[in-house]
């Protein structure tokens, strides 16, 4: 019994040390912004690009969070392998973590999740994951802090090449030199569906019966469509990446280089190294 208690106390001390180390990585000057979604990523003058992302990305995910979360449970093989190949004890980040699907994949590493959507972060916290509300373009972490990062289906929501590049560069900034990030984006060259343009609005339908009473849904949004099979149709902005386009963005960043690239499940992905 005494040995078991010693082992348990040792584990608790180790966990506290990890959390203390993680807190040091969060920029204290940014802490006030973490839980204030009205300040995150916003300046006094909002650009047209930001307005578009606010309307067709941020507002949509806040509204569809419960239903979206229910559809996100199975890890993609490439992401699963990337995380499970990591050495024990490493500390990393999932930028745009959604409902936290990948935060518990590898129990031997410590992952902090962040997302622009506060309703998805609420789900992460309910599941016991370390997570916070943060803007990909202004991460509240110190530079050269983390051992790895993932960005899964996030960068394609930024509306200009400049903002997409800045989002990738911001992730690389907080990585230690020599450490890697796995980035996934939707592909233009999809097997299941063909698109005429790279910049598109993708519909998302919320089933009427199951999600009618969810607090995140605004009643004024669905009065017109209550008679239909679906509660309401939302549209999300996507930039569909062509082959080599994601690689080119990384190549434009002085502190990053592509070490692996591939195509999986209608997505392009790269593994980029912080240099």
For 69-113, the pLDDT digits (tens) are 999 889 999 999 999 999 999 999 999 999 999 999 999 999 999
**Tell me, what's the pLDDT at 68?**
94
237: in domain? yes
pTM (predicted TM-score): 0.83
166: in domain? yes
45: in domain? no
- The tokens of 226 are what? 């209550």
Distance between CA atoms of residues 40 and 54, nearest Å: 12
74: in domain? yes
The pLDDT-based confidence of 246 (bands split at 50, 70, 90) is: very high
Size (the chain), residues: 275
The domain that contains 188 carries what CATH number?
3.40.50.150
Of 265 and 238, the structure prediction assigns the larger pLDDT to 238
Which residue segment(s) compose the domain that 157 sits in?
54-214+227-274
Give yes or no for a contact between 164 and 158, defined as CB atoms under 8 angstroms apart: yes
Q: Residues 236-241: what's their mean pLDDT?
A: 99
pLDDT tens string 247-264: 999 999 999 999 999 999
**Tell me, what's the pLDDT at 15?**
62
Number of domains in the chain: 1
Give yes or no for a contact between 148 and 179, defined as CB atoms under 8 angstroms apart: yes
pLDDT tens string 122-132: 999 999 999 99
């Amino acid at each position: 019994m005494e040995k078991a208690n010693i082992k348990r106390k040792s584990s608790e001390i180790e966990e506290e040390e990890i959390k203390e180390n993680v807190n040091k990585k969060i920029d204290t000057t940014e802490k006030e912004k973490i839980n204030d979604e009205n300040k995150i990523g916003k300046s006094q003058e909002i650009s047209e690009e930001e307005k578009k992302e606010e309307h067709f990305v941020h507002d949509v995910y806040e509204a569809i969070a419960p239903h979206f979360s229910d559809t996100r449970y199975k890890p993609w093989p490439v992401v699963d392998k990337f995380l499970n190949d990591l050495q024990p004890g490493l500390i990393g980040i999932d930028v745009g973590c959604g409902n936290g699907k990948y935060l518990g994949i590898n129990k031997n590493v410590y992952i902090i999740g962040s997302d622009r959507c506060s309703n998805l972060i609420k789900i992460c916290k309910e599941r016991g994951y370390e997570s916070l509300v943060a803007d990909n373009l202004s991460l509240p972490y110190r530079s050269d802090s983390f051992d790895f990062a993932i960005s899964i289906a996030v960068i394609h929501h930024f509306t200009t090449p400049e903002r997409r590049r800045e989002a990738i560069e911001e992730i690389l900034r907080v990585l230690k030199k020599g450490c890697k990030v796995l980035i996934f984006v939707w592909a233009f060259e999809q097997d299941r569906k063909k698109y005429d343009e790279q910049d598109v609005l993708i519909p998302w339908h919320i089933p009427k019966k199951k999600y009618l009473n969810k607090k995140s849904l605004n009643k004024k949004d669905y009065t017109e469509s209550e008679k239909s099979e679906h509660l309401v149709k939302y549209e999300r902005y996507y930039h569909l990446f062509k082959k080599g386009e994601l690689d080119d963005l990384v190549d434009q960043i002085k502190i990053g280089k592509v070490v692996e690239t591939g195509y999986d499940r209608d997505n392009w992905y790269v593994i980029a190294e912080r240099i």
